[in-house]
Each structure stands twice: as structure tokens, then as C-alpha cells.
């Protein structure tokens, strides 16, 4: 039996990739799961996992979402690849608002319930780019570095209340978010699209393959099951940060 059994979880960005894998993993361990995404497909996917779907733009208010949440998985994210001097300023702000601002608003929304119960798990899907930088990803790297810092603050504040806060920092995962980057990565690096996986995605990874979403979801479950692990970042990066 997992620590999440019988608890209520909320996962953002849950219509595909890591978010959907986390929702499935949490549900399989006996949690009631709320799946949140801007994509309406989340409603049908929620039915498949026996959960509840919510179609919502997380850059707006989160007050319509349930606050009685025991496990919060902040996963929603987007990517834009461009040099800083060509990066649209409004795009930069929007990306930070989604990946960092929404994580703050949701955490603020659910913490009173967690504090009242004396138990809670905050798991933030960061990235190896929350620990290391790459060129052409100024907004994404800034947001993920900010998320790492925010998680540590939440860990310090939550510890007296039985609430842990941690990040999972994967390398490149086999998701639609990564697949959509191929053309842009080829353009900014000046290489053929066929070379992007080897020369960009896996260049700094000792394990030469993409991570599967279910492997990231297992790391999320592991953090939920550990009450003494808090304020840290679990690198699931194939050895990238060992360098």
C-alpha cells in the first residue's frame, strides 16, 4: 500500500506525457485524482483513470479547483526555443506565469487543507534545466530554476505541518513537449532535424535514450512515500548532472 492510497491528488498538465503518467500511477495506487489541463481531452482521460477532469487555463484563477488536496503535482509546462534577443517578451512572461506562478497559486490554494490534516505532498516537475542551463531556453530555464527555489521554501514552511515539498528533475522525456522542439532545435543549432536527438537531447546524458513518462511518475510516487525527504531535487537525468 502506498502513502497516497485513500488520499486525493491533483495533477496539472495531465492530458499527456508526464502529467498523464503521474495521474495513472497515483490512481493505480488508490488515490482519487483530479486531472487539470487546458486540453479538453483531459475529460475523457480522467474517466479512463477513474478520476475527475478539469479544463482550465492555469494562468487565470485556480479558485475553481478543489482545495481539499493531499498530493499536488505541479507539472504543466510549455517550451519556446529562441535566442534571448529574439525571444518575445510576452512569451517569456507567460511561460513564467504558467510554470512558476501557477505552481505558487496552486500550492497556496491547497496548503491550508494539508496543514489542517497534518499531511501533504507537494511534488513539482522541474527539469534538468532547473539544475543546469542550456542556450536558447531562457524562459524555461528561468522558470524551472525558480520552481526549485520555491519548492525549498515550501519544504521549510511545510515541515512542521507534515508537508513535504520536492522537485523531480528529469532530462529529456519522450513527450509531445519534447517532440515539438525538434524543428526549433534544428533551426537554432543549425543542424538537420534527424540529428537533434543525438546532438542536442542526448548530448550530455550518459544514458543515451529518452526517459519514458512512467519512469518519471515512479519517481513522483517514491517522493510521496518518503516523509523525511523534503527540500530536495531528484535528478532523473541519465547522469547529465554528474558532469
Active site residues: 140
Say if residues 13 and 55 touch (Cβ distance below 8 Å).
Answer: no
Q: How many CB atoms lie within 10 A of CB 154?
A: 25
What contacts 242, CB < 8 A, 6 or more positions away? 206
Would you mind telling me the total number of residues written for the chain in this entry?
Answer: 243
Q: What value does the CA radius of gyration of the chain take, rounded to a whole number of Å?
A: 17
Distances (CA, A) of 121 to 8, 72, 117: 11, 6, 12
Cβ within 8 Å of residue 102, ≥6 positions away: 12, 58, 59, 62, 74, 76
- Which residues pair with residue 120 across a beta bridge? 163
Amino acid at each position: 500500500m502506498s502513502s497516497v492510497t485513500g488520499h486525493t491528488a491533483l495533477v496539472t498538465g495531465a492530458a499527456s506525457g508526464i502529467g498523464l503518467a503521474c495521474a495513472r500511477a497515483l490512481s493505480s495506487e488508490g488515490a482519487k485524482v483530479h486531472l487539470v489541463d487546458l486540453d479538453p481531452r483531459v475529460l475523457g482521460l480522467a474517466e479512463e483513470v477513474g478520476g475527475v477532469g478539469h479544463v482550465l487555463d492555469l494562468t487565470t484563477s485556480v479558485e475553481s479547483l478543489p482545495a481539499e488536496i493531499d498530493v499536488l503535482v505541479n507539472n504543466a509546462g510549455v517550451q519556446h526555443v529562441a535566442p534571448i534577443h529574439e525571444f518575445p517578451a510576452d512569451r517569456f512572461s507567460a511561460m513564467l506565469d504558467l510554470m512558476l506562478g501557477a505552481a505558487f497559486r496552486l500550492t497556496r490554494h491547497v496548503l491550508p487543507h494539508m496543514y489542517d490534516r497534518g499531511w501533504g505532498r507537494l511534488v513539482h516537475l522541474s527539469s534538468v534545466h532547473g539544475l543546469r542551463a542550456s542556450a536558447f531556453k531562457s524562459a524555461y530555464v528561468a522558470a524551472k530554476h525558480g520552481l526549485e527555489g520555491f519548492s525549498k521554501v515550501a519544504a521549510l514552511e511545510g515541515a512542521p505541518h507534515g508537508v513535504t515539498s520536492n522537485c523531480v528533475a528529469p532530462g529529456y522525456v519522450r513527450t509531445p513537449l519534447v517532440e515539438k522542439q525538434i524543428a526549433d532545435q534544428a533551426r537554432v543549432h543549425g543542424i538537420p532535424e534527424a540529428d537533434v536527438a543525438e546532438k542536442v537531447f542526448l548530448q550530455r546524458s550518459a544514458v543515451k535514450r529518452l526517459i519514458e513518462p512512467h519512469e518519471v511518475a515512479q519517481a513522483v510516487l517514491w517522493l510521496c512515500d518518503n516523509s523525511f525527504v523534503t527540500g530536495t531535487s531528484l535528478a532523473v537525468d541519465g547522469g547529465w548532472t554528474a558532469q
